[in-house]
Copies of this chain bind each other. A is one copy, B any other.
């Protein structure tokens, strides 16, 4: 491929687009790779399309290596299958819905679980037909509330989505592993840093699930990892409870006046300074969070959760604890209905008796953090204004209705697998592998005959890679203050040849070298623009970010051209006649 900038549909921009917040968005627009058509919806210009094609090709090759077969589904789909699985409703405002001229309901597909399930049901019927993994590379739609950051979170975007079909769970595990391996190959070939984290399955349903995150300070996902190799989404970390300890000999609980101490900090200071509890810290206290939980039957009830006072609640973890329900902090109205809950002084015990709990005085469900184990000792509100109780020992002084693991994870927390302290990082989701299990096959009745002639429900996996998002992640991870620096595997061209001068000889030589490079199988972008200064051409070359730049300019007088490495910045002269061999 030889693209000539004298005719290429390209206009580089010196100014960042007004709406752009992150580097990849700014640079992809400024360098003429993409252009905004509507919020979260982009047009691909020639250079962007070249990058996209290369990424898609790598994905396609690795899918094929993993034995997956390519198909292509419509983006416009009928409502019915999504109604059956519940996703028509569950997706809420994120789904683009429409009606055709006959008022039949349609949607723009966010993913295609239902359609793949129905297709396999339509054509296959025996265990002999399985295992099977199908994939497509296709435009997806999601009506994001806040489309942001260019391609990172678009409303129309390209995904590779794959689905596996197996008769047995062992088969599913194998199909899952094949896709997981393929993802590792894809991201490695793309030169993308990634971590694989345990993930919560969210709206997709199912059980085992891992996310591929590319670490990035602008990532929307927080994850944790240990030096010993543990990695998980914050939603997916499970705290390993400390061992219970003996109750015997623990100091007795005592309620003290702690005036004006409605915050954890205030209690701790007061206890240290006025009560002589010098070893008390925020971690010694229990913070009591009152949540209003609305279940599927729309019944709203209060739940109090105790977590260590040095932590906040992590909303994403709370969502998992109360999966299927809506959770929010209790509001003024809730407190008005429950005057027994004294804000700032809530605790498990009142006047020496269990107060919180479904069977206790308040009748309010009471859950505690996994760290609250038998024998552990805590400071908590005494359920009367300006009073706290000290030395409250779990299993002696109070009890709970259950455990709720929804406190935030903090840097330094131990990894649950004992692989060392955790660090927190931010990442961008670039891939996701799920063991869906039988959820979709059951809903849509996908069964095959097994070896014994019995009908069995198929078990499925679903596997997604965000193709357009990957391009943004690559741009985000590969740039400097001058512009983009593409990895070789995805650059829109292998070599950028710049004719830097006014003489005919410069243009002729540049053109000749470009043709020779092309003949060697290299794709070339040739800057053959007349009346454009070398300075502007160099700036554009830096902005566009093709990894190797060949400059044909002044050096030609002494028979030399320059090879410029975009990433290292290294620039060196070589003899004209050696340039092609060196680059090819």
Contacts and interface: CB of A to CB of B under 8 A. Distances in A.
A74 B38 contact: yes
Interface string A530-549: 00000000000000000000
Given A72-B44, A76-B155, A143 B100 contact: yes
Contacts of A93: 101
A290 to B, nearest CB: 31
Given A71-B44, A73-B43, A35 B119 contact: yes
Contacts of A41: 74, 76-77
B124 A74 contact: no
B76 A115 contact: no
A275 interface: no
Contact size class for A?
35 or more
B9 A134 contact: yes
A471 to B, nearest CB: 13
Contacts of A78: 37-38
A43 B98 contact: no
Interface in A14-53: 32, 35, 37-38, 41-46, 49, 52
A540 to B, nearest CB: 14
Contacts of A123: 9, 11, 32, 35
A74 B43 contact: yes
Contacts of A143: 100-101
Contacts of A557: none
A156 interface: yes
A194 interface: no
A98 B101 contact: no
A42 B156 contact: no
Contacts of A145: 101
A403 interface: no
A43 B69 contact: no
Contacts of A46: 69-71
Contact of A74 (B9, B37, B70, B97): B37
Contacts of A35: 119, 122-123
A139 interface: yes
A141 interface: yes
B49 A71 contact: yes
Interface in A142-163: 143, 145, 155-156
A429 B162 CA distance: 35
A106 interface: yes
A227 interface: no
A77 B38 contact: yes
B9 A69 contact: yes
Given A77-B38, A156-B75, A8 B43 contact: no
Contacts of A106: 38, 96
Contacts of A45: 71
A115 B37 contact: yes
A404 interface: no
Contacts of A52: 72
Across the A-B interface, the 7 shortest Cβ-Cβ residue pairs: A98-B98, A44-B72, A11-B123, A93-B101, A38-B78, A41-B74, A9-B69
